[in-house]
Amino acid sequence: MDLIPAPSSAVRRPDGDFPLDAATTLTAPPALADAERWLRTTLSAATGLPFGPGRPGAGIELVQDEALAAEAYRITVRPGRALLAAGGPAGALWGAQTLRQLLGPDAYRRSPLRREGWVLPGADIEDAPRFGWRGALLDVARHFLPKSDVLRFVDLLAAHKLNVLHLHLTDDQGWRVEIKRYPGLTERGAWRERSMVGYRSGGRRDDRPHGGYYTQDDLREIVGYAAARGVTVVPEIDLPGHTQAAICAYPELGNTDVVDTAALGVWTDWGVSHNVLNASEETLRFFEGVLEEVLELFPSEFVHLGGDECPKEQWKDSAAAQARIRELGLANEDELQSHLIRHFDRWLAERGRRLIGWDEILEGGLAPGAAVSSWRGFGGGIAAAKAGHDVVMCPEQHVYFDHRQADGPDEPIPVGFVRTLEDVYRFEPVPAQLDGTEARHVIGTQANLWSEFTDSARDIDYRAFPRLVAFAEVAWSALPAEPAERDFAGFERRLATHLKALDALGVEYRPADGPLPWQRWPGVAGRPIEGPPPVR
């Protein structure tokens, strides 16, 4: 049946095929209304069949089975009936995605190519995810992505049973979320005068203003749209580094005793800016105000506060920062950063939320309730899990999808490590160094799509797919006895069918034999990293 991600169990029942026609019904209880609505809308568009409401025991029926876990589902297809039993609303949505897959690639179209010949194959399928956090980061700060493209990306995540969209909303190169009490963040911080084209070694600029931001209503729409498809949107507001866009809008946030912050603009380079927040009480109050509005928009348990790549030079040179270190009884600048993270860890906990940050938040002491996104390899995640903290594994050497997919000269803006489709499929998120108790702190895994070198949805398609398909199976499907036993040949066989579904969805993925002419960026310099990735 070529299902991706591979279910826990799938048995084909050739005598159980269920032909669909204009009389086929779709029924579900109110608790599974989102799955019923999505399935009816999606299948009606693709098949031209109405799927009107019917009676229990016939047609396509969704039911809730409390004996199943919340994201688990079971599908039974027999002549005249397809029963989808789910542990909860999320499980029903994932089961609905599987029902669409069973109908074949044409079921992914938005208008019917045919109105006859639709058949659900007879089958018994049982399924549940391996990890609770199955995520993808979308960086809309470096290159803004219009709302319609974000909604499309949500659909692509849901189609692959990925359930977390980590939305990177702020950085040195742009601020993308409307904050009503601080309008300058978007009036001045949401656009830059120009952008680098490729890596700085190429010396190229486009000399074209770039910008955009999401209104609060836009974000409410994105969050609601995602929730109706089983996807949680986790916002990232980066601090204390990666904040030049905010400092440009409100210069008092920077280290004014060492830098003329009033002269700063939104950064037009890629990389890590040395302009970081000061550590004053006033700055803490400012970002509390930002986060109060962010919490109103995003109901997610986790709020990502970055904490990565914060250069300490300005703090070392700043008399105000040094006085702050002495005032707080801290040992050094690392502990000053930890003070900021701990403050917001407490602040979020008081409001029923949890802080998550990149693994640099381990430096200077990890805040008590914080979770860690382990990006600089596995080391930070291992340390956090051994200390009893939850971890999302997203090591750059394995699941940074802005990194190149091959070593050939045609690969567009080649950066980072070469990570092939097979490399991603063989990625194992849980390090062998963790014992059983520690391993349970690995709550999931995430692929990251940074956008310095992707300025459109077409570029994102190329870098994400089909690697995100392989990653989805790693995140969802049960681990074999040994990770090395993952059946890549079997995955490739199933992928051949799935690529036709991506074609139907209009996804401009990277072909196996290399980029198409319009997917290349000839002459644009990247930042290749030579050699294989470090062994964990």
**Residues labelled as active-site residues:** 171, 242, 309
CA dist list (Å): 83 to 62, 165, 200: 6, 29, 56
Rg (CA), the chain: 24
Separation of alpha carbons 395 and 373, rounded Å: 9
- Residues contacting residue 512 through CB under 8 Å, at least 6 positions apart: 421
Alpha helices of 432-518 — where are they, by DSSP H?
436-439, 457-464, 467-476, 488-505
Please name every residue paired with 191 in a beta bridge, in sequence order, or none if there are none.
Answer: 211
Separation of alpha carbons 290 and 294, rounded Å: 6
Of residues 146, 147, 150, the one with CA closest to residue 136: 150
Residue 348 CB coordination number (10 Å) = 22
Separation of alpha carbons 285 and 228, rounded Å: 34
Alpha helices of 298-390 — where are they, by DSSP H?
313-317, 319-328, 333-349, 379-386
* Residue entry with tokens 């047609």: 59
Of residues 250, 257, 109, the one with CA closest to residue 188: 250
Distance of CA 495 to the CA centre of its chain: 21
* Phi (first) and psi of residue 85, to 5 degrees: -100, 130
Residue 220 CB coordination number (10 Å) = 14
Distance linking the first and last C-alpha atoms of the chain: 35
Of residues 135, 60, 137, 139, the one with CA closest to residue 98: 60
- Residues contacting residue 536 through CB under 8 Å, at least 6 positions apart: 377, 378, 395, 431
